Amino acid sequence: MTAHATITFHGAAGTVTGSCMEVRVGGHGILIDCGLFQGTRTIETLNREPFTFDVGTLSAVILTHAHIDHSGLLPKLVAAGYSGPIFCTSATRDLLYHMLPDAGRIQENEAERRNRRADRADETAIEPIYTEADALATFEQAHAIGLRQWFEPAPGFKARLWNAGHILGSTSVELEVAGIRMLFSGDLGPDYKAFHPDPQAPSGFDHVICESTYGDRVREDITIEQRRTLLEAEINAALTRGGNLLIPVFALERTQELLLDIASLINSGRLPHPRVFIDSPLASRATEVFAKHAHDLEDMDSGEVFGHPSFHYVASAAESMRLNQMSGAIIMAASGMCEAGRIRHHLRHNLGRRQSTILFVGFQAAGSLGRTILDGANRVRISGHDVAVRAQVRRIDSYSAHADQEDLLRWINARKPIEGSLFLTHGESGSTEALRRLTQAADLAQSIILPRIGECYALPKGAPARRIKTGRIDVQEAVTRDWQNDYADFATRLKRELGEIQSASARREALARMSAVLQSFRERRTARDSQPRRKADRK
């Protein structure tokens, strides 16, 4: 009997982060990516859940690229007992050497920080999802594979990697198993992106799994020179205000693109020599990897870039804190969505200053602090502090490392014929739905599927995929804004709104009413929990 292939979506389905797909045939399974969930606190709790697949039956992992939402749970996988190979490009492997231990340190520091909080004094201590030691062990299992080179990740599987044009080392994964051809896009870069050639891949597949991050967005076609002109204007305007220019950055790729453009503007005399601080040890180490692979990069002909004398790489936390006393500087700090890292203390010290500027140059996931600021919040909570937003908030869209709607449609069209199903993943619901309508109208595949986390599909040859397991409804309800976002908003308004009540007695009455509402929920829950279970429930 011929073994049948299945695919299960363990992440990045109905949401952008947590990329993880399991392809299984008979007794062998491989993962495409094993990424960290990012966004709302509820979504992030998925990182702490046990894996929903059998780690012991995995034969291999193929990693599309080094971004943490694709690689960030690999140390947890290894700590759970996985001892097999992790296949990726040489550049991706070099980046993992820095990125995974950094992620482990973040996990350890975040657990320690949260355990120190006064409001957690009586709660069980939080353990890190994994440690720096787990991450170092993971790196030892990474194996470098060249582009377009066939290899056998597991018995019965053939695979090869294609340039995805997204970040340094990023790939799409072509996979053949049980007579079925499939292609995983990974994250795709836009056409004419700095550093990298346009995405490449063959055509003619049974099933294609394609990202849809910007499936609802068409960006204005813009050259690298036009993008530099936009950046030049934003820098000049910010420095004219007299405050700092904060740029939340992803340590990998976005930082290096900005350094390329700022260096080019300085070298051509279009900018004076501003003080540029790269306040991310990981970004500094990633930049070293870019320098190592400079011979593979495009657009490196504008003079000194990564070692420019205007650039100052900030190493220690003490150096980072001293930047709080500065004005008129450009500070690039991670993380790009403002969910962790040094950018958060810079935001605490600059958001309330009218002369400061916050410039967003990357995707902000729903529920992230960056998205909240970008959407126009007047006040935000940062590490337990209520912070007013008075700074100028600006955005440049042209730095995206993701293909937009038109790029995605061209890429999918070039993969035809798709005889089975086109799966649209790695996007919020509006993005995937918009791309679905357009791909359906253009008749780009026999069937188009928007999978959900937890769903499993049978993958026949030359025919549409068939769902054999439904997804997790609880996860889908939490992929955007959750109750903790609402709580943060409520907490930032509470003291101010109580202060607007005229008398102290009326304020106490308002507090008593709020307490009564909470008490009613507790009583209702207690009453429900104390009811005898029905006979059917006891079976």
Q: Are 89 and 151 in contact (CB under 8 A)?
A: no
Domain check: are 38 and 166 in the same one?
Answer: yes
Residue 499 has pLDDT above 70, yes or no: yes
Mark whether 208 and 65 lie in a shared domain: yes
Within this chain, do residues 320 and 392 fall inside the same structural domain, yes or no? yes
Residue 41 near residue 482 (C-beta atoms within 8 A): yes
Q: Is the pLDDT of residue 481 over 60?
A: no
In this predicted structure, the answer to whether residue 475 has a pLDDT above a threshold of 80 is no
CB atoms within 10 A of CB 116: 9
pLDDT of residue 534 exceeding 50, the answer is no
Stretch 34-44: mean pLDDT: 85
pLDDT confidence of 536, banded at 50, 70, 90?
very low
Determine the pLDDT at residue 1: 45
Residue 345 is part of which domain span?
224-399
Kindly state whether residues 467 and 375 are assigned to the same domain.
Answer: no
Look at residues 337, 334, 343, 335 and name the one whose alpha carbon lies nearest to residue 368.
337
Is residue 91 over pLDDT 50? yes
Position 488 scores a pLDDT of 60
Residue 256 lies in a domain: yes
Lowest-pLDDT choice from 213-227, 350-364, 471-485:
471-485
CATH code (residue 42): 3.60.15.10
Average pLDDT over residues 351-366: 91
Instruction: Establish if 66 belongs to a structural domain.
Output: yes
Contact indicator for 16, 426 with CB cutoff of 8 Å = yes
Under DSSP, the state recorded for 243 is S
Q: Are strands 20-25 and 28-32 parallel, antiparallel or unpaired?
A: antiparallel
37 and 141, same domain (yes or no): yes
Statement to judge: residues 76 and 138 lie in one domain = yes
pLDDT above 70 (res 425)? yes
Query: What confidence score (pLDDT) does residue 492 get?
Result: 63
Quick one: 230 and 169 in the same domain? no
pLDDT band at 347; cut points 50, 70, 90: very high
Residue 499 placed within a domain: no
Q: Is the pLDDT higher at 39 or at 369?
A: 369
Query: What pLDDT sits at residue 491?
Result: 67
Per residue in 96-141, pLDDT (tens digit) is: 999 999 999 989 988 888 888 777 777 888 999 999 999 999 999 9
Q: What is the spatial distance between Cα 455 and Cα 381, in angstroms, rounded to a whole number? A: 35
pLDDT digits over 12-26, tens only?
999 999 999 999 998
Confidence of residue 182 (pLDDT cuts 50, 70, 90): very high
Q: Is 356 found in the same domain as 444?
A: no
pLDDT, tens only, 361-379 = 988 877 789 999 999 999 9
| pLDDT confidence of residue 235 | 97
* Residue 314: inside a domain: yes
Q: What is the pLDDT of residue 538?
A: 43
Q: Are residues 356 and 310 in the same domain?
A: yes
Counting the structural domains of the chain, the total is 2
Given 476, 511, 532, the domain boundary residue is: 476
Q: What's the token pair of residue 171?
A: 């790939």
Tell me if 500 is assigned to some domain: no
Cα separation values, 483 from 96, 111, 477, Å: 34, 21, 11
pLDDT (mean) for 431-443: 97
For 505-521, what is the mean pLDDT?
A: 85
Q: Looking at the predicted structure, is the pLDDT value of residue 298 above 70?
A: yes
Residues 310 and 174 in one domain: no
Q: Which residue has the higher pLDDT, 517 or 468?
A: 468
**Mean pLDDT (the chain, rounded):** 90
237 and 136 share one domain: no
- In this prediction, residue 485 carries a pLDDT of 58
| Residue 536 lies inside a defined structural domain of this protein | no
What pLDDT shows up at residue 115?
87
CATH number, domain at 299? 3.40.50.10890
Q: Quick one: pLDDT at residue 531?
A: 66
Let me know if residue 76 belongs to a domain: yes
pLDDT tens per residue, range 40-49:
777 888 999 9
CA angle 180, 155, 49 (to 5 degrees): 85
Averaged pLDDT for residues 144-169: 97
Domain boundary among 372, 399, 426: 399
202 and 255 share one domain: no
Domain stop point among 384, 399, 414: 399
Long-range contacts (CB closer than 8 Å, 24 or more residues apart) made by 347-351: 347/246, 347/373, 347/382, 347/387, 348/382, 348/383, 348/385, 348/387, 349/324, 350/243, 350/244, 350/246, 350/391, 351/380, 351/387, 351/388, 351/389, 351/390, 351/391
pLDDT exceeding 90 applies to what percent of the chain? Answer: 70
Q: What is the mean pLDDT of residues 523-538?
A: 62
State pLDDT tens for residues 195-251.
Answer: 999 999 999 999 999 999 999 999 888 888 999 999 999 999 999 999 999 999 989
Average pLDDT estimate for 330-335 = 94
